Amino acid sequence: MTPAQEDEVLARIAEGLVYTEPESASQNSERRTEQIFDYDHTPPREEGRRRSLLVDILGSVGERTVLLPPFHAAFGSNVHIGDDFFGNVNLTFVDDVDIRMGHGVMIAPSVTPTTTGHPVHPARRVDFARFSGPIVIEDKVWIGSNVVVLPGVRIGYGSVIGAGSVVSRDIPSMTVALGTPCRVVREITDEDLTTRLAGR
């Protein structure tokens, strides 16, 4: 593929248009597969090595971050996390384009933010054709277990996403949202300063 062709493919990816596996091959140098394997197999006592690997893997990483292994990523280099991030086990980043997480984000086990989907008609899925849209998770968001966040979604500041939800559209700040598809069920207010559960 010529540089001009690569630029054309990258432009289509950035616009959320369909592209194929062969067309995306020019991005393979950005994959951090080996480093992710090393991270997932580094003993807990080697905190310094884990931190060093995480800095090498991710596009950017803040301070006081915790990412419990195992985690998985298509690239790793397209993931950006802020300060005071906590990610529990089996976090899977499908990061063909950027996934950006703010400060103070908390993620429960087995969550999948996926920037990439596939066309509905099988004739358009030749050569693993797909499209991608960036994901933004703003500061202080808490995401429950087994949540899937779909391409192009933004989750607003301070929001809570209930366990098992499929987030297919933007979620506004300071709300509790849950379900499949994920929907806002209420706002977060000062009354929540005296309660323990999201639903009470």
What are the structural domain ranges in the chain?
Answer: 3-185
Q: What is the pLDDT of residue 24?
A: 82
Which are the catalytic amino acids? Answer: 118
Neighbours of 107 (CB within 10 A): 26
List, for residues 156-179, the tens digit of each pLDDT value. 999 999 999 999 999 999 999 999
**DSSP character at residue 73:** E
Q: In this model, does residue 6 exceed pLDDT 60?
A: yes
| Distance separating alpha carbons of residues 135 and 167, to the nearest angstrom | 11
Q: Mean pLDDT, to the nearest integer, of 79-91?
A: 98
CA 148 from chain centre, in angstroms, equals 9
Place of tokens 């995306």: 24
Q: Mean pLDDT, to the nearest integer, of 79-108?
A: 98
Contact between 58 and 81 (Cβ < 8 Å): yes
Distance (Å) of CA 180 to CA 113, 130, 187: 15, 23, 19
Contact between 113 and 100 (Cβ < 8 Å): no
- Alpha helix (H) residue ranges in the chain: 3-14, 21-24, 33-40, 47-57
Contact between 83 and 101 (Cβ < 8 Å): no
Q: Per residue, what are the HEC states of 138-155?
A: CCCCEECCCCEECCCCEE
Q: In this model, does residue 199 exceed pLDDT 60?
A: no
Contact between 34 and 57 (Cβ < 8 Å): no
Farthest-apart Cα atoms in the chain, separation? 60
CATH of region 3-185: 2.160.10.10
Instruction: Please name which of 164, 76, 155, 147 lies closest in space to residue 113, comparing C-alpha atoms.
Output: 147
Q: What is the pLDDT of residue 3?
A: 80
Q: Which amino acid is at 166?
A: V
Contact between 155 and 172 (Cβ < 8 Å): no
